[in-house]
Amino acid sequence: MYDSVDDKGHAVELPVIVEPLNGNGFRAIGAGGISLGLAAEGATASEAVDRLSEQVRTRLKAGAKLAAIRIPAEGAAWAGDAGYLREDPQFEAWREAMDEYRDRLDKDPEAL
């Protein structure tokens, strides 16, 4: 990854894919954020990344902005269903059977 700077002067990292070009130089491809969809080539990996970095800077000078969004985690999708079987009349019998099965496996792991 290489560093860039946002409009507040903070350095940010942008993911980049660098790959050889059949023994004839390298290609740097923007892999996320403002670099997504950009590509540059160079004789060395460093040159290709530098050229890609310049494309990102050009976008920023033209008015593009770097931003991030946060989505609050709402927990696991299954969490709302956890414990719903406790009211089932067969729950205790099932739980006892599971306990017995686990005890058998603890004593003999081959007792599947």
With a CB cutoff of 8 Å and minimum separation 6, the contacts of 29 are 16, 17, 18, 19, 38, 39, 52
41: pLDDT strictly greater than 90: yes
Domain boundaries, the chain: 2-61, 77-107
Pairing of strands 2-5, 11-14: antiparallel
- pLDDT confidence of residue 83: 79
- pLDDT confidence of residue 1: 41
- Mean pLDDT across the chain, nearest whole number? 83
CA-CA distance, 41 to 75, in Å (whole number)? 43
CA-CA distance, 14 to 59, in Å (whole number)? 14
Start-to-end CA distance of the chain, whole Å, equals 49
pTM: 0.54
